[in-house]
C-alpha cells in the first residue's frame, strides 16, 4: 500500500540572528550560493540586497525567519 499526504510545517531559521546574518548564511548554503560565489565581486552585494528584500517580510527579531513549508509525506508498506 502506498500513501501520499500533504504536510505543512513552519520552518524557522536563524532564531536570535540579525536579518543581515541570516541573509549571509542563505547566500553561503542556500540554492543561490553557487551563483553568488561565481558572480563578479561588484554583483555579489546586489544579490545579497535582493535576498534581504525578499525575506525581510518573513523576519522578526524574536523568531528569526519563519517560512511555511509544504511537503509530501510518502509511505509504503509491502
Instruction: Say how many domains are in the chain.
Output: 1
pLDDT at 72 over 80: yes
- What pLDDT is stored for residue 28 in this prediction? 87
pLDDT at 74 over 90: yes
pLDDT tens sequence across 7-52: 999 999 999 999 999 998 888 887 788 888 888 889 888 888 988 9
- What pLDDT is stored for residue 65 in this prediction? 94
Spatial neighbors of 74 by CB under 8 A, at least 6 apart, are: 2, 3, 4
**Bigger pLDDT: 56 vs 51:** 56
Domain extent, residue 16, equals 2-76
- What pLDDT is stored for residue 75 in this prediction? 96
> Residue 57 half-sphere exposure, CB side, CA atoms within 13 Å?
4
- What pLDDT is stored for residue 44 in this prediction? 87
Amino acid at each position: 500500500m502506498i500513501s501520499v499526504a500533504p504536510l505543512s510545517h513552519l520552518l524557522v531559521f536563524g532564531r536570535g540572528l540579525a536579518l543581515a546574518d541570516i541573509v549571509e548564511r542563505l547566500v553561503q548554503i542556500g540554492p543561490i550560493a553557487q551563483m553568488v560565489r561565481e558572480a563578479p565581486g561588484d554583483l555579489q552585494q546586489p544579490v545579497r540586497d535582493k535576498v534581504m528584500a525578499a525575506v525581510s517580510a518573513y523576519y522578526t527579531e524574536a523568531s528569526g525567519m519563519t517560512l511555511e513549508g509544504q511537503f509530501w509525506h510518502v509511505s509504503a508498506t509491502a
